[in-house]
Amino acid sequence: MKELLKRYENKQPEIIFNWKDSETEAEGWTVINSLRGGAAGGGTRMRKGLDVNEVLSLAKTMEVKFTVSGPAIGGAKSGINFDPQDPRKKGVLERWFKAVSPLLKNYYGTGGDLNVDEIHEVIPITEESGVWHPQEGVFNGHFKPTEADKINRIGQLRHGVIKVIESEFYSPDIAKKYTIADMITGFGVAEAVKHYYSIYGGDVKGKRAVIQGFGNVGSAAAFYLAQMGAKVVGIIDRVGGVINEDGFSFEEIKTFFLRKHGNTLIAENMIPFDEINERIWSLQCEIFAPCAASRLVTQNQINQMISSGLEVISSGANVPFADKEIFFGSIMEDTDKKVSLIPDFISNCGMARVFAYFMEKRVEMSDKAIFDDTSKVIKKALQRTFAKNGSKYNISETAFAIALKELI
């Protein structure tokens, strides 16, 4: 696997598009790792300090993810080095998407990512640039539909991603009008844990869980894990967190979800960050869901969790470990040998899978059909991994080997 990984990491991307804004200091890149299947896909992010290497590593990560979620296309990513709080952000995005629109018309599909909103920024701004939908390039390059079929499928995709969840089973509060896009990634993180126990042995019910990050992904993962009967014993985010060694009730987790402000946990008796960051890693728990930013989880934190009974990690974050390598750095490798580590490209593939699902011809648009489809895709990926290696260890190494054999 290491040899395959080295070859994959060292392979030069097919396209690097570099843009410098004419009106601000903003600079952006689209990296297309390959045009496998005639197209490539990956979101658009913005942060100050971003560089081409970050975009490249994320493009390679996307390509691996597509081996699980589909469609069978290449990985790509766009990134803009600019402060997302700057009031000139809208103008920067308008000029960026105008520059990148020929790619979006022909072979590249994008969406929202860090500090760039799918619904309020990507879709309306790309439309102004003459692109029917941010995924139009995937349709034209990969699916090659007739014009009528393309119109139908783009319509299906447009409505599906922003579809308001109507079922009380999938939404913490249907009156709040949460969408598929709000909930599906966190749902996948929780479903990966459920399927892990059903395939490798055990039951999620009664297991204790720690959640890192309480944005869309972490809060949804906590909601669905608690709904399954897992006991969330600790939540940590950037401002602090909460601990209950007996486990918060499902109603308490639901309240945390409904009260959160943006990506920030709001709770009575919040423990300050420095204190909870000392305490939470040694809590007795079996499940860990890192759902904050990339490259945060340290070797020391993992060692403490393993000593406290950790069994499985299901990641909502891409590359959650504080490794410098693109994939499979020393912390990830060590963790994979000691606990069941479900790789990010399986556990957090929910949103990518939803895009793939709605790109197919005439799919069922019910909440149950959409969520069931993501669940089945994650289950199938874990079953394939288990068929190659029935051990609870080296799950990530096995899953990577399966994916890389498809790509090299």
Give domain limits for the chain. 12-144, 174-407
Q: Domain 12-144 is classified in which CATH homologous superfamily?
A: Leucine Dehydrogenase, chain A, domain 1 (3.40.50.10860)
Q: What is the pTM of this model?
A: 0.93
pLDDT given at position 319: 87
Tokens of 48: 């100050």
> Which CATH topology does 174-407 take?
Rossmann fold (3.40.50)
As averages over each run of 10 residues, the pLDDT of the chain (408 residues) reads 88 97 98 98 95 92 95 97 97 98 97 89 95 94 92 89 94 96 96 98 98 96 98 96 98 97 91 98 98 93 98 94 89 97 96 92 92 98 98 97 93
pLDDT given at position 96: 98
Fold match, 12-144 / 174-407? yes
